[in-house]
């Protein structure tokens, strides 16, 4: 997935906020934690380009292992259930939840190592053929990119609706 991680994080965070509003986190902080979580796995690109010099696929780093995000999400759920201070645990919950969502979205058209670190084998729901020299063009012109466009449109609609509702409140 190329462009839809952030919009997907926005959709999930926006739709879930009202359920968790009572725990004291402001909408803005909740949204920021959710958006950061939705792109956090891709921060490994810094290591990929800066230190690994593209020697290994960045999806083979631990930062893209679903087991890591599942573990973090489980810890966040446990903290949320058992800690008295729910606000911080809630932010960890939306952060790790969107990190896990990132794994699912990446899995649609790129390799994800679902069984890592135990089995070093990638899985992808759809294989995007390498037709063009530029890797991103292969994804952009593949039918699976339609899903990304839908996610971006959905997020845009949500954002516009919120802005409109806020504008009506002010007037
Ligand atoms: Zn990714």
Complete DSSP assignment for 89-149: HHHHHHHHHHHHHHHHHHHHHS-B-TTTTT----B-SSPPP--SSSHHHHHHTSTTHHHHH
**Measured between alpha carbons, how far is 85 from 140 in angstroms, rounded to an integer?**
44
pLDDT value for 135: 87
Could you say which DSSP state residue 3 is in?
Answer: S
Q: How many angstroms does the Cα of residue 1 sit away from the middle of ligand 1?
A: 7
Q: How many angstroms does the Cα of residue 114 sit away from the middle of ligand 1?
A: 13
Q: How many angstroms does the Cα of residue 2 sit away from the middle of ligand 1?
A: 8
pLDDT value for 167: 80
* Overall number of domains in the chain: 1
- Per residue in 41-53, pLDDT (tens digit) is 999 999 999 999 9
Helix (H) or strand (E) holding 60: none
pLDDT value for 101: 98
SS3 158: helix
Q: How many angstroms does the Cα of residue 104 sit away from the middle of ligand 1?
A: 9
Q: How many angstroms does the Cα of residue 40 sit away from the middle of ligand 1?
A: 8
Domain interval for residue 47: 5-170
Q: How many angstroms does the Cα of residue 157 sit away from the middle of ligand 1?
A: 24
- Per residue in 138-171, pLDDT (tens digit) is 989 999 999 999 999 999 999 999 999 888 877 6
- The length of the chain, given as a count of residues: 171
Q: Which residues of the chain have pLDDT under 50?
A: none
pLDDT value for 1: 85
């Amino acid at each position: 997935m190329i462009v839809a991680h952030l919009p997907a994080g926005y959709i999930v965070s926006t739709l879930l906020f009202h359920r968790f509003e009572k725990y004291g986190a402001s909408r803005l902080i909740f949204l920021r934690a959710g958006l950061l979580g939705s792109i956090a796995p891709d921060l490994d690109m810094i290591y990929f380009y800066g230190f690994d010099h593209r020697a290994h696929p960045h999806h083979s780093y631990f930062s893209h292992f679903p087991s890591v995000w599942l573990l973090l999400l489980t810890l966040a759920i446990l903290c949320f259930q058992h800690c008295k201070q729910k606000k911080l645990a809630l932010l960890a919950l939306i952060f790790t939840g969107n990190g896990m969502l990132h794994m699912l979205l990446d899995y649609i058209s790129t390799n994800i190592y679902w069984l890592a670190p135990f089995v070093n084998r990638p899985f992808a729901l759809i294989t995007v053929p390498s037709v063009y020299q530029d890797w991103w063009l292969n994804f952009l012109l593949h039918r699976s990119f339609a899903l990304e466009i839908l996610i971006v449109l959905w997020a845009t609609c949500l954002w516009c609706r919120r802005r409109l509702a806020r504008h009506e409140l002010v007037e």
